[in-house]
Amino acid sequence: MGVTLRSRAPRFRLVHVIPLTILALLLLYLSARSLREWPLPSPGEFSGCESGVQSCTPKGLLPFQKLRLQQESGLRESLEREEPPCLGPQGMLGRMMRPFRASLNPEGDVELSQYLAGWRQLVRFLTPLGSIFTFATSEASAKIKALETRVRGLHAAHYTSLAAMMEWERRTGLLDEAPGTGLPDSGSRTMLLLHRALRWSQLCLHRVATGTLGGAEAGVQCSDAYGTALAPHHPWLIRQAARLAFLAFPGRDRLLELACPGTREMEARAALALAAGTLEDVYNRTQGLLAENRLLHRA
C-alpha cells in the first residue's frame, strides 16, 4: 500500500501543475487583446512631465535620476575605446537603433516607416526572451503590419509621419470611431498600443543594463518595469499570469549575450544602455505628440 501511495503522488502533482501552466500561458495570450481595453498612462506618469510637452524629462532631477545619469555616464565611457560589433551595421542593437534614430526628424515629428522598421528589429530581439515577451511581441507584430498597410496603402501620403497621420485621421473622422465597433482601428489608436509596449521594453532594457553588479536579476528588473508600465492597466488575473511568466525569464548574462554576443559584461551593459536611451528618445517624442493631440486615452 505504501509503495502505491508513493508512486501515485508525483502523478497527482503533475495533473495539477500542467493545467496551471496552460492557464498561465492562455492568460498571457488573452492579455494581448486586453491592451486595447485599458487606458494609457498620462504623459507625466513615468517621469513627472506635464501634459502636452515634447519631452518627458522633468526640469528638476530627483536623487534616483541623478544616480541613473551617473550610471549611464560610466557605462558609456566603456564604449569610448572601441565600439562593440553589436552596435555596428550587422549587430542586433545597431540594426534596431538606426531606424529608431532615423524616425526622429529635425522638425520634431516621428517618421512612421522608420519607426516601424525599428519596431521590427526590436521584436526580433525580444522574441527569444521567453513567453512574457512572446505575447507582447505577437500583438506588436500585428500592429506593425496594420500600420504598414496604411503607410504603403491608398492614402500613403497621409501616413508619412505621426503628426500627418493624426491630422488626416482627425480631419476624416477616423478618430471619432469608438473602439469595439467592429471597424478597423485607426492608425493613431494602433500607434498608442505600440507606444505603451515601447515604454515597457525601454524600461526593461535600461534597468537590466544599469542594474547594480550582483544585484537583482533581469527577471526582477523587467518584472518591475512591467509593474510600472503595464500592470496598472491589467486586471488581477493577467498580472498574476505575468508574474509567473517572469519566473522563467532568462538571466542577465543570457540577455546581455543575446544583445551583444562575444562582448565583456560592462561593454554589453553600455551598449544595451545606449539602445535603451534611443528607445526612450523615441518614446518621449511620441508621447509629446500624442499628448498635444489629446490622444493618450483614446485606446
42 in any annotated domain: no
40 in any annotated domain: no
Write out pLDDT tens, residues 101-115.
Answer: 999 999 999 999 999
143 in any annotated domain: yes
Residue 179: the pLDDT is 57
53 in any annotated domain: no
How many structural domains is the chain composed of?
1
Residue 72: the pLDDT is 53
Residue 206: the pLDDT is 93
35 in any annotated domain: no
Q: Does 44 or 241 have the greater pLDDT score?
A: 241
**Alpha carbon distance 162, 28 (integer Å):** 29
Structural domain for 280, as ranges: 66-292
What mean pLDDT, rounded, does the chain reach?
Answer: 75
Question: Among 48-62, 67-81, 285-299, which stretch is predicted with the lowest mean pLDDT?
Answer: 48-62
34 in any annotated domain: no
Q: Are 194 and 265 in contact (CB under 8 A)?
A: no
**Alpha carbon distance 279, 101 (integer Å):** 9
What is the signed CA dihedral for 167, 173, 176, 182, rounded to 10 degrees?
Answer: -120
> C-alpha grid cell for residue 31?
492579455
Task: Provide the pLDDT confidence category of residue 215 given band limits of 50, 70 and 90.
Answer: low
Domain with residue 226: its CATH number is 1.10.3520.10
